[in-house]
Amino acid sequence: MTVGTEPRKRRPIGKMVAYGVLTAGCYGLLFTNADLVMQYFTRGSWYAALPIATVFVFSIVHGAFANYVWSVLGIEAVKRGEVRPRPEKVKRVYRRRRPRPQPRLTV
């Protein structure tokens, strides 16, 4: 099958934009309050949960955004076996002429 006959997969542009805005919001919030954040996040002891929880949240939000970025750019995983071997047999068929009936004279 040629590329043109395959139904085009819809690109998740909306999801990418939504997660992009969310990611930018998270980074913006943290960096605009960097002094306060650093004050609490480096207190140690039970405050250790703050940086750990933060990287978990960022990995989910930014991770989803990154996933949609690659999907929108058309860079996606190939399933094993999805790539077909070189179609040499088909090529041979393409060049072969069909045998034609030869006129024979019976006396």
Partner 1 sequence: MNEAAQEAIRFIDLNLLTVLFLFVVGFIGGLVSGFIGSGGAFVLTPGMMSLGVPGTVAVASNMCHKFPKALVGAYKRYKYGQVDIKLGLVMAASAAVGVQAGIRIQQVILEKWGEAGSNLYVSLAFVVVLVVVGTYVFRDALKISRTGGQEKVSSLARRLQGINLPPMIHFKTADLRISFWFTLPVGFATGMLAATIAVGGFIGVPGMIYVIGASSLVASATELVIAFVMGFGGSVNWAIHGMIDIRLTLLILAGSLLGVQLGAIGTTIVKEHLIKIVMGTIMLIVALSRGLAIPKYLKELELLQMNDATIALLTKLSFATMCLALAVGAVMILGSMWAARRESRALEVETPEEEVYEALREDYRKA
Chain residues that interact with partner 1, rule: CB under 8 A: 1-3, 5, 27, 30-31, 34, 37-39, 41-45, 47-52, 54-56, 58-59, 62-63, 66-67, 69-70, 75-80, 83-84, 86-87, 90-91, 93-94, 97-98, 100
Q: How far apart are CA 55 and CA 30, in angstroms?
A: 12
Q: Give every CB contact of residue 76 below 8 A, 6+ residues apart in sequence.
A: 70
Closest C-alpha to 58, from 94, 90, 102, 28: 28
Q: Which is nearer to partner 1, 10 or 95 (CB)?
A: 95
CB of 8 to partner 1, least distance (A): 14
Q: Which is nearer to partner 1, 104 or 107 (CB)?
A: 104
Contact 71, 11 (CB under 8 A): yes
- Report the nearest approach of partner 1 to the CB of residue 101 (Å): 8
The residue among 34 and 107 lying less far from partner 1, judged by its C-beta, is 34
